[in-house]
Amino acid sequence: MPRKLVLIVVDGMTPDAFERAVESGRAPALSFLAAHGEYRRATSVFPSLTPVCVTSIATGAGPDVHHIPSMTWWSRKERRIVEYGSSFPALRKAGLSQSLVDTIVSMNGRDLARDAVTVFEALEDAGLVAGAVNITCYRGRHRYLPTVPGLNRAVHGPSRFFYYGLYESDRTGAPFAVRSRKGGSTDAYAAAVGRWLVTRDGFDFLAYYLSDYDFASHAHGPAGAADVSLERTDAAIGALLDAAGGPDEFLERYAVIVLSDHGQTNVEQAARLEPAFADLAGQVVVTASNRAGQVYLLPDARVDAAELARRLDGEPAVDVTLRLEEGEAVARRDGEDVPVEQLDHPDAAWRARAALANPNAGELLVSAAEGWELVDLGGQHHAGGGSHGSLVAGDSLVPLLTVGVDASPARITDVTPAILGHFGVARVG
């Protein structure tokens, strides 16, 4: 029987931040793991936004397979905007109650494609015990009711399931997760649950998701995030090592994969996509969040995707637009159409095609230019801080460390296949 495995996802940590943390000695837990493993830079998906990226990690598939298209998108079936939490004003603008249900429940239920098998489903179908702490793609085989009144929606997760204190398979005594995001409460909750699980050796596989680093990076930029959050993030990882009796004892029991879901880049300016399409009321829906956007053609539209792309020519906030022409992926950049193979962004052709093949994606996809963010539904942005979502390298490259895993993942979608291979479980789908 192979060693049990812990997957650690540090939301929004860039390769540069990871490498500096390891080299500086400011992150003893990460440094220890790095000294015993193999490190590489890997690529994320497009849009490089958390719902898309984490779902891609957990399913081992791109958005063409799992069907989560962005942070905010237009549901053609329900004829409404789905908002997964770009900002509180965006949630409120989309309808607060509906948006909370969309984010917490429906993303793993109605929205996540049935044909996309999560790592939790695959492992537990093979007789292993899977656990999930705070990870936003969590679908499993066990039904859970919420721990708080008012939510009233059941979800399905793995055997060991902990979702920000809102859903819990076990009582651990962990503090409520969302009492103070700025103070690091979500990672403190994860650390308390992680200690409880490791102390009891209560899983074969654990997905351990730390989101506070991304929160700090949005506020302070990718470089400033380390000053605010690095020690807290490392301490949350160190809590797992300590619970096993120490770092060496931890690696005797567990193989490890550490990665982030996306990078981040500095943003100084923000722009709205909507003005370029202001005369197309009733013909298009525009959705944007962070550094990615989409434009959807409504049934009575009298324009096509090529016209939508041309309308963004010369827009300084836009680097690239993507669309399908007779089934082929076409990029438009600097006022010219080019094949996606000619883009110089990391792994651009595969990422563009996977994004465009998602049935929930817009007819036009927008990748923001360096230094720019696209204003969300609630009018919010992170100008002066950090953001992500685009095709550019800073948003798209992630650190990826494997310890005791016989695989070399090059994309975040390679992680679940590596985990299944570690356990000798055949991949479904």
The upper half-sphere exposure of residue 288, i.e. CA atoms within 13 Å in the direction of its Cβ, equals 26
Domain tally for the chain? Answer: 2
pLDDT tens digit string along 91-100? 999 999 999 9
Which range of residues forms the domain containing residue 313? 267-384
Residues 293 and 364 in one domain: yes
Residues 168 and 216 in one domain: yes
Scanning 8-69, the segments in alpha helix (DSSP H) are 15-24, 28-35, 50-59, 63-66
Residues 181 and 301 in one domain: no
CATH number at residue 372: 3.30.1360.110
Contacts of 345 (CB under 8 A, 6+ apart): 320, 351, 367, 391, 392, 393, 396
pLDDT tens digit string along 4-38? 999 999 999 999 999 999 999 899 999 999 999 99
The closest of 277, 280, 276, 286 to 72, measured between CA atoms, is 286
- The pTM of the full predicted model, rounded to 2 decimals, is 0.96
Reported as a pLDDT band with limits 50, 70 and 90, residue 238 is: very high
* Whole-number Å distance between alpha carbons of 84 and 93: 12
The closest of 315, 301, 313, 417 to 362, measured between CA atoms, is 301
CATH number at residue 169: 3.40.720.10
pLDDT tens digit string along 290-310? 999 999 999 999 999 999 999
Average pLDDT value over all residues in the chain:
95
Looking up tokens 């085989």 gives 141
Order of strands across the sheet that contains 318-325 = 284-289, 292-297, 364-368, 318-325, 328-333, 336-339
Residues 207 and 255 in one domain: yes
Residues 246 and 331 in one domain: no
Reported as a pLDDT band with limits 50, 70 and 90, residue 239 is: very high
What number is the average pLDDT over the span 265-287? 97
Residues 231 and 327 in one domain: no
Residues 134 and 258 in one domain: yes
Residues 141 and 255 in one domain: yes
Residues 415 and 366 in one domain: no
Q: Is a pLDDT exceeding 60 seen at residue 181?
A: no
